[in-house]
């Protein structure tokens, strides 16, 4: 009888230990799940805080307060830090909490930074989109409050900021025609190189700057419709990877600390005109041109191994070609055509076949000196 009672006591003790062990395992499982949920919530909170997309619901504990849902990119957010720049006749404000982006852009345009500016300007915002189960995180680039680009790569953000500024130009400068053309000034005369992508505008612009010509812009010719003059917008010069050897042959240093990815154009470098030509001209005024009338219209076309040659064009042919590369023809196309006609009335017009950069620069220099 006593032996039977001992066996029952041992069995009861064994069952109690098993139950306690199960309770301990369940408690450990609950703590583990709670830690995982807390860690996930914390990571989501930090990511939204850094991207500027923090919502009011993220600051409330479950069951406390009223939760208000906002669409992505709207509602309460962390105030963006703004950096202001005056680049010729264009004023921009870069607003972002992403420090690496702000640092890259400020490094590129540190000579154009201002404390603030009065009047109209282009507001560029850069933020991170939230991570969802459907979409990975991207960089959102907004122009005056409207989303324009969603690049996925970090090294593609700065080129998209440059594109974003271009989107804002027609709204900022409604009294200017925006031609797809590089533009320079030499001895008070304006020279434009209109053409589509790949025609060699930027490379030719850098080559002529080594000859003492002054920079207005490598992507646009901003033609004032009232004064019929070219206004400066000395943005960073965009050089494609294929032109890197030409830049080295010209002795041009590369400004960017890293290469940038510009979509279908591939890898590019951004060169600030002042720092690239600082050894030749000690001041920014010696590198950047002033507003000037159009005196030469040259349509370049790059052909490898070709002998540089100039073919005269009539002013009528030049006006029609300029009309084709005008970004903002305005609602009144007839007025734009009249402005282009008046702008080139006193200009010499040519079609240029480019090859070796040094020979091409010599050909253009002789034409300008002979005028």
Among 31-45, 84-98, 187-201, 326-340, the range scoring the smallest mean pLDDT is 31-45
Pick 296 or 118 by higher pLDDT: 296
Task: Give the mean model confidence (pLDDT) for residues 304-325.
Answer: 90
Same domain flag for 226 and 144? no
pLDDT category at 254 given cuts 50, 70, 90 is: low
pLDDT value of residue 20 = 74
Higher pLDDT, 231 or 251: 231
User: Which residue has better confidence, 178 or 43?
Assistant: 178
My answer on whether 235 and 121 are in the same domain is no
Predicted confidence at residue 228, as pLDDT, reads 93
Number of domains comprising the chain:
2
My answer on whether 328 and 213 are in the same domain is: yes
Sign of the dihedral through C-alpha 50, 56, 57, 62:
positive
pLDDT bin (cut points 50, 70, 90) of residue 124 is very high
Give this prediction's pTM.
0.74
pLDDT single digits (tens) 18-74: 677 777 777 777 766 665 554 444 445 444 444 444 333 333 333 333 333 334 334
- Within a domain: residue 326? yes
CATH number reported for the structural domain that contains residue 188 in this entry: 3.40.50
State residue 35's pLDDT score.
57
Instruction: Please classify residue 39 by burial: count the beta carbons closer than 10 Å to its beta carbon, then call 0-12 exposed, 13-18 middle and 19+ buried.
Output: exposed
The answer to whether residues 167 and 288 belong to one domain is no
Say yes or no to pLDDT of 292 above 50. Answer: yes
Say if 183 falls within a structural domain. yes
pLDDT at 263: 79
Give me Rg for the CA atoms of the chain: 31
Asked whether residue 49 is domain-assigned, the answer is: no
Question: Do 293 and 190 touch, CB atoms closer than 8 A?
Answer: yes
Same domain, 140 and 268: no
Q: Which of 12-16, 29-33, 91-95, 174-178 has the lowest mean pLDDT?
A: 12-16
50 within some domain? no
Identify the pLDDT of residue 134: 72
Name the residue range of residue 144's domain.
84-172
Where b means 16+ CB within 10 Å and e means fewer, 274-292 reads bbbbbeebeebeebbbebb
Torsion from C-alpha of 127, 133, 136, 139, nearest 10 degrees? -10
Can you give the pLDDT at residue 297? 95
**In this structure, what token pair is assigned to residue 296?**
């030469």
Q: Same structural domain for residues 120 and 181?
A: no
Q: How far is CA 121 from CA 97, 151, 164, 330, in A?
A: 20, 23, 13, 20
Q: Mean pLDDT check: name the lowest of 33-42, 167-176, 225-234, 246-255.
A: 33-42
């Amino acid at each position: 009888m006593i032996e039977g009672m001992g066996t029952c006591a041992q069995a009861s003790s064994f069952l109690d230990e098993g139950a306690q062990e199960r309770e301990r395992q369940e408690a450990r499982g609950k703590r583990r799940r709670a830690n995982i949920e807390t860690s996930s919530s914390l990571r989501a909170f930090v990511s939204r805080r850094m991207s500027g997309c923090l919502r009011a619901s993220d600051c409330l504990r479950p069951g406390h307060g009223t939760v208000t849902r906002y669409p992505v990119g709207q509602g309460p957010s962390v105030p963006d830090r703004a950096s202001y720049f005056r680049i010729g006749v264009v004023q921009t404000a870069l607003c972002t909490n992403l420090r690496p982006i702000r640092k890259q852009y400020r490094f590129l345009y540190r000579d154009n930074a201002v404390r603030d500016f009065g009047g109209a300007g282009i507001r560029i915002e850069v933020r991170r989109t939230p991570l969802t189960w459907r979409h990975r995180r991207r960089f959102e680039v907004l122009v005056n409050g409207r989303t324009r680009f969603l690049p996925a790569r970090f090294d593609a953000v700065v080129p998209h900021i440059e594109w974003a500024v271009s989107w804002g130009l027609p709204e900022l400068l409604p009294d200017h025609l925006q031609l797809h053309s590089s533009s320079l000034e030499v001895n008070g005369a304006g020279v434009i190189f209109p053409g589509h992508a790949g025609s060699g505008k930027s490379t030719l612009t850098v080559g002529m700057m080594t000859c003492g010509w002054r920079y207005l812009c490598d992507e646009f010719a901003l033609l004032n419709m009232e004064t019929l003059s070219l206004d400066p917008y000395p943005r960073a010069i965009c050089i494609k990877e294929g032109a890197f050897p030409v830049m080295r042959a010209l002795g041009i240093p590369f400004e960017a600390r890293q290469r940038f990815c510009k979509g279908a154009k591939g890898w590019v470098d951004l060169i600030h005109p002042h720092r690239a030509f600082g050894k030749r001209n000690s001041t920014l005024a010696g590198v950047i041109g002033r507003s000037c009338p159009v005196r030469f219209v040259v349509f370049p076309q790059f052909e490898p191994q070709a002998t540089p040659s100039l073919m005269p064009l009539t002013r009528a042919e030049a006006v029609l070609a300029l009309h084709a590369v005008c970004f903002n023809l305005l609602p009144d196309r007839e007025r734009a055509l009249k402005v282009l006609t008046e702008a080139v009335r006193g200009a010499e017009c040519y079609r240029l076949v480019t090859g070796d950069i040094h020979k091409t620069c010599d050909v253009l220099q002789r034409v300008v000196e002979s005028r």
